[in-house]
Amino acid sequence: MREEHLLDVVGHLYEAAATDGGFDQALDSLRHWLGADSFHLMRWNDASGVNDLSIQSPQLREAATAYQAYFGTIDPRRSVSATAPVGQPVACHHHFDDRFVSRSEFYQDLLLRHDARYAMGLAVHRGGRRVTHLVLNHGAAKGPFSSEQIDALGRLAPTLERAYVLMQRAAGLRHAAHAGETALDAWGKGVIALGSDAELIWCNAAARDWIGAGRLFQVHGTRLSARGSGGTRLTRALAGAPGRPVHWVARSYPQSPRDRLQRAALTLLRSSALGTPGFFALLIQSLEPPPAVPSQALADWFGLTAAQARIASLLTSGLSAQHIATRCGVSLATVRTQIRQVLARSEAVNLQDFLRLAASLPVLAPSSHSESCTDEGPA
């Protein structure tokens, strides 16, 4: 355990905590520095009785699976670590002698089978009813961990807890960001992150549909630009002093018959609104007329039958009752009856109220399928 390598171990732990994955490699460098054969980071949930986090050396993967399935419930080390303060190392040979080991199902059927006879560890973090432990193992041939190794683990305990907490917070932020991006994409809301010089930092999938030749925005190198008055407004908004959000409407300039005209409402949130100097968020909302609401969505939201939902979907596409009757080959009276049923189930005051409700539904992944009167659906 060379002291000159300790800073590398600490740096590796903090770097891994801030990135997606890599904590197993950081723990392996810690294992190597301490001279252990393997490691296992686990989080035991006392409420559910389940080990809900497991990061281990490759040679312990089978053992970790068995621990999760059964052996975690009979682990005798848990009673020792439960009374130890966070960060205080515990060496199992101080508590379990050879006689105990020879009679222990946990040792005989799990640890010894995976050459993990000796262990030292500590509670890395306690949060509510969850306790996170780090265990390092020696094979039987190496013998127990030395007092020097145990003391070295204790010296690293504060770093381990801080790195672990950072890892959990970073993971939470990534999950939250992914959930937000997924929701924005599903609802067709575009978001572009920009630097002060219009540098394109990040955009979600919905925003990428607005970027490219003949579309609303273009990218030159790493800079975002727009033609016409939209580009002028963007440049002015980025150059302006921090203040309230800036709103404007922009259009695309199609370059070929295949390019469609795009119109969007744009909102630029400047650094004062986000609390990060030099950072901007550009929000994009399409001004295209919404497509017909899919019948399945209407059935789900309002509890409509398949026939009612098809009629309702055709209404949202702009067809009149007469056109729907002709298209479906039914009488106008039948269509009107189904419209009354739709209004009753949706609790709409009238047809215009229903169309307003339908247009406001947060429909995910809208279908491009044209509704017909013979489509199958829920009864």
Averaged pLDDT, 3-25: 87
Share of the chain above pLDDT 90, in %: 53
pLDDT at 87: 93
pLDDT at 366: 47
pLDDT at 378: 36
This prediction has a pTM of 0.66
List, for residues 161-219, the tens digit of each pLDDT value.
999 999 999 988 888 888 888 888 877 789 999 987 889 999 998 899 889 877 889 99
Domain chopping of the chain, boundaries: 3-177, 188-286, 295-360
Share of the chain above pLDDT 70, in %: 92
pLDDT confidence tier of residue 65, bands split at 50, 70 and 90: very high
pLDDT at 344: 95
Same CATH topology for 3-177 and 188-286: the answer is yes
Q: Is the pLDDT of residue 335 over 90?
A: yes
* Per-residue 3-state assignment (H helix, E strand, C coil) for the chain: CCHHHHHHHHHHHHHHHCCCCCHHHHHHHHHHHHCCCEEEEEEEECCCCEEEEEEECHHHHHHHHHHHHCHHHHCCHHHHHCCCCCCCCEEHHHCCCHHHHHHCHHHHHHHHHHCCCEEEEEEEEEECCEEEEEEEEECCCCCCCCHHHHHHHHHHHHHHHHHHHHHHHHHHHHHHHHHHHHHHHHCCCEEEEEECCCEEEEECHHHHCCECCCCCEEEECCEEECCHHHHHHHHHHHHCCCCCCEEEEEECCCCCCCCCCCEEEEEEECHHHHCCCCEEEEEEEECCCCCCCCHHHHHHHHCCCHHHHHHHHHHHCCCCHHHHHHHHCCCHHHHHHHHHHHHHHHCCCCHHHHHHHHHHCCCCCCCCCCCCCCCCCCC
List, for residues 97-133, the tens digit of each pLDDT value.
999 999 999 999 999 999 999 999 999 999 888 899 9
Superfamily per CATH, domain 3-177: Transcription factor LuxR-like, autoinducer-binding domain (3.30.450.80)
Asked if CATH classification 3.10.20.30 holds for the domain at 188-286, the reply, yes or no, is no
Q: Is the pLDDT of residue 155 over 60?
A: yes
Name which residue leads in pLDDT, 368 or 318.
318
pLDDT at 368: 47
Q: Please, what is the average pLDDT of the chain?
A: 87
Q: Is the pLDDT of residue 276 over 50?
A: yes
Architecture of domain 295-360: Orthogonal Bundle (1.10)
Averaged pLDDT, 33-48: 88
List, for residues 233-259, the tens digit of each pLDDT value.
888 888 875 568 889 998 888 878 777
